[in-house]
Amino acid sequence: MSLVELDSGKIRAEFPALSREIRPGVPLVYLDTTATSQKPLRVLEAMERYYRWHNANVHRGIHTLAEEATAEFEGARTKIAEFIGAQDSREVIFTRNATEAINLVAKTWGSSNLKEGDRIVVSEMEHHSNLVPWQMLSAEQGLEINVLPVTEQGELDLREWERLLNKEPKIVCFTHMSNVLGTLNPVAEMCAQARDAGAVSVVDGAQSAPHLPVDVRAIGADFFAFSGHKMCGPTGGGVLWGRAKLLNEMPPFLGGGDMIKRVQMTGFEPNEIPYKFEAGTPSICEAIGLGAAVEYLESVGMESIWKHEQELISYALEGLGEINGITVYGPEAHKRGGVASFTLEGVHPHDIAQVLDRDGVAVRAGHHCAMPLHTKLNVVATARASFYLYNTQDEVDLLVEGIGRVRDMFR
């Protein structure tokens, strides 16, 4: 039985960057999707088409181009809403990235609903983007951040979770999937428990929306944030999904054009959602590109993509496990997505990444914007390989062989 069910050849042909050679004769093996994904032709084409034929500012225009641009932009919103199972496309707010989406929640819901002494639960495996905004908010408003720890197995400590919920936090913040450990957290259960405890939940979907079927209603979160550039879309476009009821109650985020209904010199009246949260000219083409990206992902099928990545990570964990002196972090294959972070005895992760790059193998090295988690793992940095629909078993082999060579070099 073939390990891979996706048609690798067909998929890889859609991604021009994958035919890149790093040096003459050394093809790119791109294992850094967790940082950002490569882009398929049809996304590039959708953006090109927009700029070549339909480019105009949206919402306020009457001329043909403005109407076409508005229809494309709002059409993208609808597609994205469907992609994540949102009930109402007005719940989809365009942001620059997941980071801005989370900051939006902190600076609007947070500052209007929290008061001194209120508790926020934040997990220890968060990307800085789901931690620092809460730290900033806490510093401003005198809140208490309670840390939801990570276990030895690289999972959230669900015992401690229950204890923390008993302290009646106002808001709980955790990632759907860790960008370091690959851990897939039980977000649906956690959101339900949070709701029962009276807390609003913020789920960081930056690593789940690209890789597995996501249904925000099934998850039951109150807010869900993700970035387009990690899921075949362009840079500069991210999404905050939020429940319409909450969004309607929140004060606006940034001030300017589009987010207002009326303005006088003495004050303004905010617009309806989603526009209330989209001040100024939006990232029009970026939204359209993300719309094309989710259409592409759906055409391949999120279930298939997830299955493919599960197969790759199982295969990779096996191969990596056989390397002498390696430590791979995180839970077993069936509890995680296609991310493997590791260290090699006596070799700094930077050196691993650098030497692998000579063979065209692109991995990340560093703290991956998750310093507290690295502190917990008791390392300053890890090297990280991550997979997407376009990666193959052969590429995993090249990774494993490459690490073998690194080990020999530093022996």
Partner 1 sequence: MDDMYREFILDHYKNPRHHGELDPADISYQDDNPLCGDVIRIDLRVDKDNRIIESAFSGQGCAISQASASMLMEEIQGKSLDEIKEFSREDILQMLGIELGPVRLKCAMLSLKVLKVGAYGVQDWVDDE
Residues with catalytic function: 369
Contact between 24 and a second copy (CB under 8 A)?
A: no
Looking only at residues 53 through 92 of this chain, which bind a second copy when binding is defined by CB under 8 A? Answer: 53, 55-57, 60-66
Binding-site size for ligand PLP (CB under 6 A) equals: 17
Closer to a second copy by CB, 167 or 217: give it: 167
Contact 386, 143 (CB under 8 A): no
Question: Rounded to whole angstroms, how far apart are CA atoms 114 and 102?
Answer: 16
Residue 409 binding target from partner 1, ligand PLP, a second copy, none, CB below 5 to 8 Å by type:
partner 1
Residue 198 binding target from partner 1, a second copy, ligand PLP, none, CB below 5 to 8 Å by type:
none
Question: Rounded to whole angstroms, how far apart are CA atoms 132 and 110?
Answer: 13
Looking only at residues 286 through 345 of this chain, which bind a second copy when binding is defined by CB under 8 A? Answer: 286
Maximal CA-CA distance, the chain: 71
Sequence-separated (6 or more) residues with CB below 8 Å from residue 193:
161, 162, 165
295: its two tokens: 């259409």
Question: Rounded to whole angstroms, how far apart are CA atoms 394 and 171?
Answer: 44
Supply the minimum distance, in Å, between the C-beta of residue 181 and a second copy: 16
Contact flags string 105-144 toward a second copy, x per CB under 8 A: -x---------------x-x--xxx-xxxxxx--x-----
Instruction: Please state whether 301 falls in left (phi above 0), alpha (psi between -120 and 50) or beta.
Output: left
Residues at the site binding partner 1, with contacts judged by CB under 8 A: 23, 59-62, 66-67, 70-71, 74, 261-262, 272, 347-351, 354-355, 357-358, 365-367, 371, 379-381, 409-410
Supply the minimum distance, in Å, between the C-beta of residue 349 and partner 1: 8
Among 257, 301, 331, 372, binds ligand PLP (CB under 6 A): 257
Contact 282, 26 (CB under 8 A): no
Stretch that binds ligand PLP, among 125-133, 184-192, 268-276, 327-335 (CB under 6 A): 125-133
Question: Rounded to whole angstroms, how far apart are CA atoms 39 and 33?
Answer: 11
Rounded to 10 degrees, what is the CA torsion of 375, 381, 383, 389?
50
**What's the half-sphere exposure (Cβ side, CA atoms, 13 Å) at 139?**
6
Closer to ligand PLP by CB, 46 or 339: give it: 339
Specify the pairing of strand 260-264 against strand 238-242. Answer: unpaired
Among 52, 196, 378, 411, binds a second copy (CB under 8 A): 52
Looking only at residues 350 through 409 of this chain, which bind ligand PLP when binding is defined by CB under 6 A? Answer: 369
Closer to ligand PLP by CB, 64 or 281: give it: 281
Among 22, 188, 192, 246, binds a second copy (CB under 8 A): 22
Contact between 183 and ligand PLP (CB under 6 A)?
A: no
Closer to partner 1 by CB, 307 or 348: give it: 348
Stretch that binds ligand PLP, among 104-112, 122-130, 305-313, 388-396 (CB under 6 A): 122-130
DSSP characters for 110-148? IHHH--TT-EEEEETT--GGGTHHHHHHHHHHT-EEEEE
Closer to a second copy by CB, 65 or 71: give it: 65
Strand runs labelled E in 119-229: 119-123, 144-148, 171-175, 200-204, 223-227
Closer to ligand PLP by CB, 130 or 193: give it: 130
For residue 141, the one-letter residue type is Q
Contact between 409 and a second copy (CB under 8 A)?
A: no
Question: Rounded to whole angstroms, how far apart are CA atoms 142 and 281?
Answer: 34
- What are phi and psi for residue 41, nearest 5 degrees? -50, -40
Closer to partner 1 by CB, 343 or 391: give it: 343
Among 75, 257, 301, 404, binds a second copy (CB under 8 A): 257
Supply the minimum distance, in Å, between the C-beta of residue 248 and a second copy: 18
Among 175, 185, 391, 392, binds ligand PLP (CB under 6 A): 175
Rounded to 10 degrees, what is the CA torsion of 140, 144, 146, 147?
40
Residues that bind ligand PLP (CB under 6 A): 34, 97-99, 127, 129-130, 175, 179, 204, 206-207, 227, 257, 280-281, 369
